[in-house]
Structure 1
Amino acid sequence: MRVVILCGGESPERDVSLASGWSVTRALLERGHEVVLVDPAAAVPVLAGPLRPGDAVDGVAVGKEPPSLPDRHRMRQRMHAALTGGPVLELLRGAELVFLALHGGWGEDGHVQALLEMAGVRFTGAGSAVCAAAWHKGRAQAVLDAAGVPVTERVLWRPAAGEVPGEVRRLVAAGPAVVKPVADGSSVSVHRVDSLAELTRIATEGHPRSDDVELMVEPFLSGREFTVAVVGGQALPVVEIELTTPLFDYTAKYQPGAVSEVCPARVPGDFASRLQETALRAHRALGFGGGTYSRTDFRCDAGGAPRCLEVNALPGLTATSLLPLAATGSGWTYPDLIQRIVDLATR
């Protein structure tokens, strides 16, 4: 097939997405496809291609820090222009399939999917409505809670609104608590807080444009951390994330050696089945169909009961990402996983 891969983008996960894009490129070439690699937020969008099986492909390392806010604004302008007209849009329309290796921002909140849907372009993963539903953690948690998926207490807060609400004060006082953007990925800007002063400082310093920011505050869960991927209608083996830090943040996720990831997780079979069944329920509750894939993250409370943290519509596809690790636990190679995602989108 003629496949265009979209990667990079304007989100804090830009570097992760670029690494995913190059990894997917190698896998698709190995499976005999023709590939063009495109970063719609770059000054020169076409990164490589057309590439054909046998062509050499480079890779890219994931940076230690996300792009700065000013850089992200410039990238967003370029990305909008590229996806709404000109040669990039024509390239997408001429492809048999667009493989979305975008993570975060417009790539995962439904914006890019909506543009592709309006252009009549076929793409991998969930559609715009499902991505939007999963992306906003507050609304997604409400849907999951109603569907019987175990979640934790959470309070939404806009720092620009003024005084810290009483419910937020209560959670922090009972502490520790976790504060994070209600719409972001890769654990960007996730913090553990132990005092109201610390919460206020993080909300102010970490988000200089706080008028645009909505935060979610929830109790810190001190137990083990797991993730379960669903590809099509199949839940893959459970992965455990063994942490050396309190939180599985951006640095821990993408720097080799920062954490230990075990697949299959060393847990009793009934506990693993429980997590897999819950991941499938979360996948379906948010509208993911049989032709899509997702990854559901869990953390256990002090008593060992798992709570769903979020469902990722476009999980990372780098060499060290969790979805490829889970695929390996199922006996799939990395190219097997990528071909399955292609097959789901084209069946």
Structure 2
Amino acid sequence: MRIVILCGGESSERDVSLASGGAVARALLERGHEVVLVDPAAETPVLAGPLHFGDVVDEFAVGKEPPSGLGRRLLQERMEGALTAGPVLGLLRDADLVFLALHGGWGEDGRLQERLREEGIRFTGADSTACTAAWHKGRGQAALGAAGLPVAERAQWQPGIEGVPQAVRLLLAAGPVVTKPVADGSSVSVHRVDSLAELERVAAETGSGGVELLVEPYLPGREFTVAVVGDRALPVVEIELSSPLFDYTAKYQTEGVSEVCPARIPADFASRLQELALRAHEALGFGAHAYSRTDFRCDAAGEPMCLEVNALPGLTATSLLPLAASGAGWTYGELIERIVDLAMS
């Protein structure tokens, strides 16, 4: 098939997305597809292509820190223009399939999926409704809780607009909390906070510019993630950390974490996590044509809590979904082909 891969983009996960796009391109070329690699936020959007079997795709490195906010407005303007008119939109219309490797921002908040649906363009992954539900962590957790899945107590706060809300103060009074942007990915700007003074400092740094924060109790137990591809839950991955949190640096720099698949846990506990991931996948509207990854962290008693559902999990060489796929006996290429097959079914 003729497949256009969208990667890069305007979000804080831009570097990760470029790395995912390159890895996907190599896998699709090995399986005989014609590939065009496109970054709709770049000055020159077509990064490579049309490419065919045997062509080489350059590696994209993921930095130790996410891209800064500088230049984000220009990236957003370019991306909106590229997906509204012009040659990029023409490439998408002419493709047999658009493979979405755009993490964060337009790629995961549902806007891109709705735009492609309006144009009648076939694409991989979940639809706009599921992406929108998963992208906002507060609303996503509320939906998971309403469906009977275990979620931690939480509160939302928009620093700069209001002082520290009483609900946030109560959470902090009960013990350490975790703060994160309510709508962002790749564990960007995630912090453990132990005091009100520290909370206000972190909020001043990460909650500037109108960024809304989600505040929830720090869970001291083990951390797991379970991917779902179509209607199948893959083997459980345990994330063994050398730091308190699975933040951006730990996620993309291999010295910061050990990821074990299949997780060394009792079979009944693994089955329980897989069942919870399937229920979370369904609760947020991910259909049998989509894939997702649900993150869990255990409380002090060892009970798993659903942290979030990822609509377009990373597909880099060190990402968790490919690791889970390898635990199921799939090669990276087989995982990518399965994602393609789901979209075409």
Report runs of 4+ in structure 1 exceeding 6 Å deviation: none
2-structure distance, mates of 1:208, 1:139: 21
Aligned residues: 345
Residues 1:294 and 2:292 aligned together? yes
Shift of 1:208: 2.8
- The letter for the 1-side match of 2:223 is E
Distance apart, 1:206 and its partner CA: 2.4
- CA distance in 2 between partners of 1:73 and 1:34 (Å): 32
TM-score of the aligned structures, taking structure 1 as reference length: 0.98
Q: CA deviation at 1:90?
A: 0.2
Matches within 5 A, 1:38-77: 38-77=38-77
Opposite residue 90 of structure 1, the aligned amino acid is G
The secondary structure found in structure 2 opposite 1:159 is: coil
Whether the 8 Å CA contact 2:36–2:46 is kept in 1: the answer is yes
Q: CA deviation at 1:172?
A: 1.0
- Structure-2 residue corresponding to 1:263: 261
Counterpart of 2:320? Answer: 322
For the Cα contact (< 8 Å) 2:207–2:213, is it kept in 1?
no
Which amino acid is the alignment partner of residue 107 of structure 1?
G
Whether 1:106 and 2:106 are equivalent positions in the alignment is yes
Post-superposition offset of 1:140:
0.7
Q: Is the partner of 2:208 in helix, strand or coil?
A: coil
| Residue aligning to 2:189 | 189
Where structure 1 has 5 or more consecutive residues not aligned to the other structure, the ranges are: none
The alpha-carbon deviation at position 162 of structure 1 amounts to 2.1
Q: How many Å apart are 1:159 and its aligned residue? A: 1.2
Tell me by how many angstroms 1:175 deviates. 1.6
Separation in structure 2 between the aligned mates of residue 208 and residue 282 of structure 1, nearest angstrom: 31
Q: In the alignment, is the contact (CA less than 8 A) between 2:181 and 2:207 conserved in 1?
A: no
Question: 1:275 aligns to what?
Answer: 273
Task: Tell me if the contact between 2:181 and 2:189 (Cα under 8 Å) persists in the aligned partners.
Answer: yes
Query: 1:85 is matched with which residue?
Result: 85
Counterpart Cα distance in 1 of 2:61 and 2:46: 19
- Residue by residue over 1:283-309, the C-alpha shift from the partner in whole angstroms, topping out at 9 and shown as x without a partner, is 000000000000000000011000000
Pair 1:137-2:132 in alignment = no
The structure 1 residue matched to 2:301, chosen from 303, 320, 330, is: 303
Code of the residue aligned with 2:136 in structure 1: it is H
SS of structure 1 residue aligned to 2:144 = helix
The residue number in structure 2 matching 1:12 is 12
CA contact (8 A) 2:221 2:298 kept: yes
Corresponding residue number in structure 1 for 2:201:
201
SS at match of 1:93: helix
Q: Deviations over 1:48-97 (max 9, x none)?
A: 00000111222111011112213111100000000000000000000000
TM-score (norm 2): 0.99
Q: Aligned partners of 2:163 and 2:200: how far apart in 1?
A: 10
RMSD of Structure 2 on Structure 1 (CA):
0.7
Give the Å deviation of 1:336.
Answer: 0.1
Q: Distance in 1 between matches of 2:159 and 2:54?
A: 53
Query: Partners in 2 of 1:281 and 1:199 — Cα distance?
Result: 33
Secondary structure of the residue aligned to 2:60 is: coil
Counterpart AA for 2:11:
S
| Partner of residue 226 from structure 1, selected from 202, 224, 227 | 224
Opposite residue 226 of structure 1, the aligned amino acid is F
Give ranges in structure 2 of 5+ residues lacking alignment.
none
Match of 1:96 in 2: 96
Identity %: 74
SS in structure 2 opposite 1:4? strand
What amino acid is aligned across from residue 255 of structure 2 in structure 1? Answer: G
Distance 1:276 1:59 in 2: 33
What is the DSSP-based 3-state SS (H/G/I as helix, E as strand, rest coil) of the residue aligned with 2:255?
coil
**Residue identity in the other structure for 1:253:** K
Aligned counterpart in structure 2 of residue 239 of structure 1, from 225, 237, 240: 237
Q: CA deviation at 1:205?
A: 2.1
